[in-house]
A = this chain, B = another copy of it.
């Protein structure tokens, strides 16, 4: 192919319409034009056992074998047994591609999570897979690294794969993504949130409500000088933003100001939690309560507090969000919000299975969270306002 032709194609393609260049197929075409070696299909190593082979050995027609597999009750028992024996003999398995082609069903669900590094997502995916597996579905997994553009690409790839349903995380997805889903006419559900943009059904908890509760609990203990550590840096993480809002609302309601410097906006990691707490206590040494939007940040904050000589909870109350396994084992154990990740995963699976079957399904499911009060929180040492109730706590 001459360079001129390539140029011609390129300019035309760009000229028309920007979306054309994004078309999933074209990315592959580009790859091929650039001679990036796309893997060559290799000849099948050995003849696969086909339904016809079974049929021949059992002296029946392929149709009968198919019926034994798909509608055993309409085949005469002796014949059925004979066919089953031969199926086992040849250890025949059906070709799912052919099956999917004929039936139009892949029996496949896709999930796109921001990352698997978060235990809470890993747990949800595991529950999702287990439930799907019970119903004969298989799970495609992809991760977006909190990047909406990448989420869109992965989704495109999954849709091309012909998935029957898709599980997303969070409520903020671009219009492009919603259009893609709509056009593919694939059932979707988004998870870990209670509602999503564009009317996508959701299953999860009320993140804002949870931190509002948490903040009110701390207010109830008598705290007035708050600090917040929130991983709100990635635009697609609406969970943490909702959590931050919950804190802000609860404080606004009782007219306690929260200055920008009292909110550390950061990314997600233990080390970031450490740094955040250090900065917080440097800027506002009189802080008595730190609300974190994830346990990881809270655990980092606790580690740093210890290092800085600030006793938790006597001098400083710290709270988390997620209730990871470690939270209960910290010293002191961490007060946090428990998120029913496994239930979310199972619920998402059930939703999609029903939606695919055409069974009526609820639009969205709101699951309860639990405020788990442990010993990382206590009344402030000397409340400015009289503490409503003095609780004694261990450690």
Contacts and interface: CB of A to CB of B under 8 A. Distances in A.
A340 to B, nearest CB: 15
Interface stretch (A6-14, A251-259, A362-370, A376-384): A6-14
B25 A93 contact: yes
B129 A23 contact: no
B85 A95 contact: no
A308 interface: no
Given A9-B81, A20-B84, A117 B106 contact: no
Contact of A95 (B73, B93, B101, B122): B101
Interface string A77-93: 10011001101100111
A117 B123 contact: yes
A210 to B, nearest CB: 23
A376 to B, nearest CB: 14
A81 B12 CA distance: 8
Interface residues of A, number: 102
Nearest to A159: B93
Interface stretch (A135-143, A196-204, A215-223, A237-245): A135-143
A123 B116 CA distance: 7
B160 A94 contact: yes
Nearest to A78: B8
A73 B42 CA distance: 21
Contacts of A72: 29, 32-33
Contacts of A69: 25, 28-29
A379 to B, nearest CB: 24
A8 B77 contact: yes
Contacts of A156: 93
Interface stretch (A281-289, A299-307, A311-319): A299-307
Contacts of A160: 93-94, 96
Contact of A84 (B13, B94, B98, B115): B13
A45 interface: yes
Given A299-B326, A299-B329, A162 B97 contact: yes
Given A88-B20, A331-B306, A95 B136 contact: no
A381 to B, nearest CB: 23
A357 B42 CA distance: 7
Contact of A80 (B9, B73, B81, B138): B9
Interface of A: 1, 5, 8-9, 12-13, 16-17, 19-20, 23-26, 28-29, 32-33, 38-42, 44-46, 68-73, 77, 80-81, 84-85, 87-88, 91-98, 100-101, 103-106, 108, 115-117, 119, 122-123, 125-126, 129-130, 133, 135-136, 138-143, 154, 156-162, 183, 185, 269-271, 274, 296, 299-300, 303, 306-307, 325-326, 329-331, 353, 356-358
23 contacts: A1-B73, A9-B84, A20-B85, A20-B88, A29-B69, A29-B84, A33-B72, A39-B136, A42-B358, A46-B185, A96-B162, A97-B97, A97-B101, A100-B100, A116-B116, A125-B141, A133-B157, A138-B157, A138-B158, A270-B325, A274-B329, A299-B326, A303-B331
Closest 9 CB pairs of A and B: A97-B100, A116-B122, A97-B101, A45-B185, A39-B357, A20-B88, A141-B141, A122-B122, A116-B126
